[in-house]
Amino acid sequence: MDSATANKQLIDQLPKIAHRPEQLETLLDAASFRERLLHEIAQAKSRIYLVALYLQDDEAGRSILDALYEAKQKNPRLDVKVLVDWHRAQRGLIGAEKSDGNAGLYREYSEKYVHKVDILGVPVRNREVFGVLHLKGFIIDETVIYSGASLNDVYLAQHDRYRYDRYHVIHSKALADSMANFISNTLVASDAVNCLSQPSRPETKALKPAIRNLRARLQSASYSFISQHINEDQVGLTPMVGLGKRKNFLNTQICRLIASAHEELTICTPYFNPPRSVMREIRRALRRGVSITIIVGDKTANDFYIPPDEPFKTISGLPYLYEINLRNFARRNEAAIAKRQLKIHLWKHDNNSFHLKGIWVDRSYMLLTGNNLNPRAWKLDLENAILLHDKHGLLENEAQREIDKILEHTQLIGSYKQIEKLEVYPTQVRTLLKRIKRIRADHLLNQIL
């Protein structure tokens, strides 16, 4: 038995929730996602659990809070919980003046209404740079809306810009219950998790023992559900979670998924900075003849990109660092690009940004995830995913429709020479990157950013 077949068998042995394909809907743009999320919140009967990196103090963020509080006042028994990263919620934007961050907004809303909405901060580590809540999923009654998006103007296409992500609506009581129970039993129940809308909040320093306990629990935590037989008219759903570089179940399954590819592999990531284990499996897939498509954001579609005619900030060097990674990868695999075994697509659409991630394998598996497939996701952040098993090709048209939409604003790279090199970057970027290289800080930056 070859290794790809062996890995496929291991993937097929994962526990699954049986699901009818017509109960999964793919939304194709950010505006549709915003409208659907607000619609589902307004219709909620029993529970609303929203989990995101942040809920921003801007027009879109306030529209979400308005909808949540309106639903809660109309039905006080409605169980409403919003979970965001503890550190991210209590600071301003990078480069902005020091402030109370989004927590000030949460407190403002709490003081206006009789029936409160729980907005909870989850500290994955003592400091944001060493790990954040990157869990995804909006659970409303028996429906899961899964996206890598956070909640603000650009993710929700509130004005004339959007940050492009993937958006799936899955109506499954078993999946919704499993994800909601994980949130309640593992996160909300922890002493490290505190309400962000209260006037006085504990200092992070005082939470250190509780944060250690939470992280220890998360490193061995999993979604709990009863595995079901999958009939010929059904697909399987496997929710997965992972944290940390050792014994990370999600990381293991992602590598195994790539290793199972026999014919086709498609990978989406916002920026090209794969962990070594992922890169190793990509190389092996190329060697065994798999046709690989990689869709990655152009450097100008990175949320840290600053045009050369605007004031330079150190953080704006990141997109160039990722582009150097991509160019080096393309150069090493120029032969595979030339024979079209490896296709690299760069996404760029006006001044919008790209935030997609996901994996499609042999038209049989599709991974929905917020995982950026980078070392930070691999080692530091709390991540999750839903793996769709589609043995009978029931979602093939739906999956292809989404991929076609993603490819709409991409350029196919015919040679590594089409990707800009260091020598043509703006002077300040060149100076920064050369300094980083000289002190060998590029490896460290790739690990934590």
pLDDT in single tens digits along all 449 residues of the chain? 789 999 999 999 999 999 999 999 999 999 999 999 999 999 999 999 999 999 999 999 999 999 999 999 999 999 999 999 999 999 865 544 446 789 999 999 999 999 999 999 999 999 998 999 999 999 999 999 999 999 999 999 999 899 999 999 999 999 999 999 999 999 999 999 999 998 889 999 999 999 999 999 999 999 999 999 999 999 999 999 999 988 899 999 999 999 999 999 999 999 999 999 999 999 999 999 999 999 999 999 998 999 988 888 888 889 999 999 999 999 999 999 999 999 999 999 999 999 999 999 999 999 999 999 999 999 999 999 999 999 999 999 999 999 999 999 999 999 999 999 999 999 899 988 888 877 765 565 556 55
Q: Which CATH superfamily is domain 20-218 in?
A: Endonuclease Chain A (3.30.870.10)
The catalytically annotated residue of 40, 57, 87, 134 is 134
Tokens matching residue 50: 């929203």
The confidence score (pLDDT) of residue 440 equals 64
Instruction: Note if 232 is an active site residue.
Output: no
Instruction: Note if 87 is an active site residue.
Output: no
Cα angle 199-69-91, degrees, rounded to a multiple of 5: 40
The catalytically annotated residue of 40, 128, 153, 165 is 165
Instruction: Note if 203 is an active site residue.
Output: no
The catalytically annotated residue of 57, 323, 383, 402 is 383
Q: Which CATH superfamily is domain 235-448 in?
A: Endonuclease Chain A (3.30.870.10)
The confidence score (pLDDT) of residue 95 equals 46
Q: Where in the chain is the domain with CATH 3.30.870.10?
A: 20-218, 235-448
The catalytically annotated residue of 355, 381, 389, 398 is 355
Residues 6+ apart with CB under 8 A from 205: none
The confidence score (pLDDT) of residue 309 equals 87
Kindly list the strands in the beta sheet with 358-361, ordered across the sheet, starting from the edge strand earlier in the chain: 17-19, 235-242, 383-389, 365-369, 358-361, 264-269, 291-297, 342-347, 410-413
Instruction: Note if 423 is an active site residue.
Output: no
